[in-house]
Amino acid sequence: MVHHDKAAPGLNHAIVLLSCKDRKGISAAVVNFIFQNQGNIVHADQHTDDQSQTFFMRVEWSLEGFSLKREDIRPAFAAIAALFNMQWRIFFTDEKPRVAIFVSKHLHCLYDLLYRYKTGQLFCDIVLVLSNHPDARQVSEDFGIKFAESAVFHHNKEEVEAKQIELLTVENVDFIILARYHQVLTKSFVDRYPAQIINIHHSFLPAFAGSNPYLQAYQKGVKVIGATSHYVTEILDDGPIIAQDTVAISHRDSLDDLKRKGEDLEKVVLSRAVRWHLERKILSYGHKTVVFD
């Protein structure tokens, strides 16, 4: 029984993420499903939301010596899931998510993600960088990632999104990172990728949603600024929060200082959320998330 803290290339593990109405025997049923099929649990975590009486669980187990063939695992688990009326998904850790990054003109998060990707911190294939500006072309190509630019104007948003969806579909993308992409996505775009789009917003939401959060913070005179990564929903800057962090500021900090300090936060907070998503550690429900870090 070898334990590994994260989904890494080459590991032959399965992960189940599930939630259901809380009642007796859920964890015993899941643990026994794995144990009786000769699986080794390498990580298990559970949580119950007291207010909604919802039960959440993440179990990761090794498939070495597992008595079910890979294609039979989901059908077999479905029987247990039905008993408890679970919402559930099973992932295999050797199947890499395919990722696109959307960005506008602030490239710090893009650089940061690409450096982490290149040095093996993010288990995925980043296959595409999309932008409404040309600025990110050079760095994308330096890192060997395909870049596509489409200027977005008031009249052509749907046309641009149609083109983007085509690119995403061709590349088989199943996870999108908005790394300071300053365009609001349409509801129809967002609906195609439920809990598959992560945004970084440069404030501690719910404060300072919308545009120019650093200016808003500066004018309000707060003594702390923050950054928030969240799943994108159709309402701007409102989806389930995954990660947040803050840093102290003072009257000595100019608006430029806020931006500079904030950008350091953004990189950390966005990459944290991205890694958790890639490692299948996040369950979102309603407006909230459970993160089994």
The residues carrying an active-site annotation are 237
Interaction pattern, residues 54-83, with its own copies; x per rule: CB under 8 A: -x----------------------------
Interaction pattern, residues 156-195, with its own copies; x per rule: CB under 8 A: ----------------------------------------
In degrees and rounded to multiples of 5, residue 144 shows phi and psi of 75, 25
Classify the C-alpha dihedral 255-257-261-264 as positive or negative: positive
Least distance CB 160 / its own copies (angstroms): 27
Answer yes or no whether residue 25 interacts with its own copies by CB under 8 A: yes
Answer yes or no whether residue 18 interacts with its own copies by CB under 8 A: no
Q: Which two tokens stand for residue 222?
A: 């707060």
Q: Which two tokens stand for residue 228?
A: 């928030």
CA distances from 219 to 212, 216, 262 (A): 11, 5, 15
**CA-to-CA distance for 93 and 197, rounded, in angstroms?**
20
Q: Which two tokens stand for residue 96?
A: 């890499």
Answer yes or no whether residue 223 interacts with its own copies by CB under 8 A: yes
Answer yes or no whether residue 94 interacts with its own copies by CB under 8 A: no
Least distance CB 170 / its own copies (angstroms): 28
Please return the burial class of 182, using the count of CB atoms within 10 Å of its CB with bins 0-12, 13-18 and 19+: middle
Per CB under 8 A, the segment of 83-91, 111-119, 146-154, 182-190 that binds its own copies is 111-119
Residues of this chain, 242-271, that bind its own copies according to CB under 8 A: 242-246, 248, 250-254, 256-257, 260, 264, 267-268
> Between residues 125 and 264, which has the closer beta carbon with respect to its own copies?
264
Residues of this chain, 29-58, that bind its own copies according to CB under 8 A: 31-32, 34-35, 40-50, 55
Answer yes or no whether residue 147 interacts with its own copies by CB under 8 A: no
- CA dihedral angle for residue 29, residue 84, residue 242, residue 47, rounded to 10 degrees: -50
**CA-to-CA distance for 276 and 272, rounded, in angstroms?**
6
Could you say which of 28, 85, 155, 172 contacts its own copies (CB under 8 A)? 28
